[in-house]
Amino acid sequence: MEVSFTESKQSTVGIEWELNLVDLDTYELAPVAAELLELVGGGAGLPVRKEYLQCMVEIVSGAHETIAGAIADIAAQLARLQEAAATLNVGLMGSGSHPFSHPAKQVPFSNPRYDAVTEKNKWWGKQMTICGTHVHVGVANKDHVLPTTWTFARFYPYLLALSASSPYWDGEDSGYASQRTMMFQQLPTNGLPYRFHHWSQFEEYIDDLVECGMIAEVNELRWDVRPSPRFGTVENRIPDSVPTLKELAFLGALTQSLGEHFAQALSEGDTPDYLPPWLVRENKWRAARYGLDATIITPQEGSRLLTLRYGMGNLITFLMPFAQQLGCADELAFGRELLNNGASYERQRRIAGGTGPEALHKVAKALVEETATNTPNW
């Protein structure tokens, strides 16, 4: 199967932000997406769209050259959503999971695509009460798409840790910083990308998946990082949804700066240093489990282990010249505030101060307030 890639301007950026809908009396998930979308004039192909479940919506920016432009786009749609949601007594919550609502009780929208997901995946399909952040980065050279995809995956711990916002699942502390990561990888075609050397190999892979009935079209491939041929981008799907626009802007800046770094290196003939798949997979698990407190594995002889918190600070410093070129230095620098004061999973556990319904009710309330005010609860 020929998969045409629409080459786009290098390092342009687009953001997709999935949000939970929460009843402001009970702080349970509220299945009111259809009513909310009608109020704001949302729908397929529009800036505000439905997602798999009726208790969530997605805001999608256009393509922008700067993170500031993409965030302004998102912010305008968020304001419309907040105003409309208030009339339904509903709040918006940016988080990878809801602290206590039962996943299996959430109702999917019914259409052939979603019905197939539910039927095919059975128990796992009924657990997909998860929200993520997706950042598209424009790629100007088709030959750079696959190495960029795999190299993003190499940086998995850094792209996840400061977004991790799903420590609680079905009323319990999962012990993970990102329970969403572990849930999402259970479905077919999800998980880490495979390494292909040539675009023709990727096309053969897609052809095999279609022939075997695993997917019907390319966009049903749900790797953690994937080529998005229709938009001419590589899509970073690693992060959890985050509570605030400030955190969203940081994730956009981190992704855009890494993408520009990869593009410049590839243009200069620098071949990516591919890591063994087992190492990338292990680092993914460590970041999902321990968040910033993870010790990750490096390829360097004599210094195989690195604390993620320390490495994150170093990465922000390394990427700052690229961020300055792209006009997102301030957004990238916000990562240091998150490092110093707490990513969402850390803030949630701090707010809860324990376990039980009352503690998790406080967490849900705080997440809604963070999204409403664009202010992390340090």
> Residue 111: its pLDDT value, please?
79
The Cβ-side half-sphere exposure at 343, using a 13 Å CA radius, reads 32
Which of 135-139, 184-188, 326-330 shows the lowest mean pLDDT across its residues? 184-188
Provide the pLDDT for residue 122.
86
- Percent of the chain at pLDDT > 70 equals 100
C-alpha distances (whole Å) from 21 to each of 3, 77, 250, 284, 364 are: 36, 15, 23, 28, 11
Average pLDDT, the chain: 95
Q: What is the pLDDT of residue 274?
A: 83
| pLDDT in the model for residue 29 | 98
Task: Determine contact, residues 245/74, Cβ cutoff 8 Å.
Answer: yes
Q: What is the pLDDT of residue 116?
A: 77
What is the rounded CA–CA span in Å between residue 357 and residue 100?
8
Q: How large is the average pLDDT for residues 197-211?
A: 95
pLDDT of residue 125: 84
Instruction: Check whether 301 has a pLDDT greater than 80.
Output: no
- Residue 112 predicted with pLDDT over 80: no
> Which CATH code for domain 13-373?
3.30.590.20
Give the pLDDT confidence of 358-374 residue by residue, as tens digits: 999 999 999 999 999 99
Average pLDDT over residues 236-264: 98
Percent of the chain residues past pLDDT 90, beyond the cut: 88
Is the CB of residue 57 less than 8 Å from the CB of residue 40?
Answer: no
Is 307 or 120 the better-scoring residue by pLDDT?
307
Note the pLDDT of residue 115: 78
Q: Is the pLDDT of residue 151 over 90?
A: yes
- Interval 2-59: pLDDT, tens: 899 998 999 999 999 999 999 999 999 999 999 999 999 999 999 999 999 999 999 9
Element spanning 34, H or E? helix 33-40
- In the numeric block, the tokens 């704001």 are attached to 40
1 pLDDT more than 80 = no
Q: Is the pLDDT of residue 271 over 90?
A: no
Interatomic CA distance for residues 32 and 230, integer angstroms: 30
How much is the average pLDDT of 271-292? 94
Q: Which of 247, 108, 56 is nearest to 165 (CA)?
A: 247
Q: Given pLDDT bands bounded at 50, 70 and 90, which one contains residue 89?
A: very high
pLDDT tens track for 162-192: 999 999 999 999 999 999 999 999 988 999 9
Name the token pair of 198: 């040539």
pLDDT in tens, 216-235: 889 899 999 999 999 999 99
Q: What is the mean pLDDT of residues 73-83?
A: 98
DSSP output for 181-213? HHHHTTSTTEESPPP-SSHHHHHHHHHHHHHTT
At 118, is the pLDDT very low, low, confident or very high (cuts 50, 70, 90)?
confident
